[in-house]
Amino acid sequence: MEANELEVLVPPTVELTIAGETLTLAPLKVGQLPAFLRAAGPILSKLSAPEIDWLALLGMRGDDLLTALAIVAGKPRVWVDELAADEAILLAAKVLEVNADFFTRTVLPQLDGLFPQGLIGGQPIPEPAGSTPSSG
């Protein structure tokens, strides 16, 4: 069995030191999924963008993002709330890295068509301040 095949079967973990603690981030466990999907559902489509504007995402859906990070990190929400912005963004990026296969192959295809285009929970998805629709 090649290394790439093994990584698909047993996705790698990532160790990350944040706020003086070393966290081992692993792919989401089935027991984490209900709470994670409730928290992250409104932002998952934004997380699939090639370039993520973390500050805009924090401004628009910060509570959802921080709750999702707490679930994945196995930490209380208050711990995540106390992180410096750069630490929270690093944690979010690493969570995406560790769970990329799960998000792209499982979650996002399921979300397509779950919500009408441009709506989350029946509410319009706000655009970041200063953004303009593309004409192309």
Whether 133 is covered by a domain: the verdict is no
Q: Is the predicted pLDDT of residue 77 greater than 90, yes or no?
A: yes
Write the CA distances from 24 to 14, 18, 120, integer angstroms.
6, 11, 31
pLDDT above 90 covers a percentage of the chain that reads: 27
Number of independent structural domains in the chain:
1
Q: Is the predicted pLDDT of residue 119 greater than 50, yes or no?
A: no
Whether 135 is covered by a domain: the verdict is no
In eight-state DSSP terms, residue 123 is E
**pTM greater than 0.75:** no
Whether 10 is covered by a domain: the verdict is yes
Q: Is 7 helix (H, G, I), strand (E, B) or coil?
A: helix
* Least confident stretch, 55-59, 82-86, 112-116: 112-116
**Residues 80, 103: Cα–Cα separation, whole Å:** 22
Average pLDDT score over residue span 67-74: 92
Whether 131 is covered by a domain: the verdict is no
Q: How confident is the model at residue 129 (pLDDT cuts 50, 70, 90)?
A: very low
State CA 64 to chain mean position distance. 9
Average pLDDT score over residue span 73-78: 94
Whether 124 is covered by a domain: the verdict is no
Instruction: Note the pLDDT tens digit of each residue in 35-70.
Output: 988 898 888 778 777 788 888 888 888 899 999 999
Whether 121 is covered by a domain: the verdict is no
Residue 111 confidence (pLDDT)? 53
Range of the domain at 111: 3-116
Average pLDDT score over residue span 67-96: 92
For the CA atoms of 31, 36, 71, 62, the dihedral, rounded to the nearest 10 degrees, stands at -170
Residue 6 confidence (pLDDT)? 47
State the burial class of residue 34 (Cβ atoms within 10 Å of its Cβ: 0-12, 13-18, 19+). Answer: exposed
Residue 24 confidence (pLDDT)? 92
Q: What is the 3 state secondary structure string of 50-111? A: CCCCHHHHHHHHHHHHHHHHHHHHCCCHHHHHCCCHHHHHHHHHHHHHHHHHHHHHHHHHHH
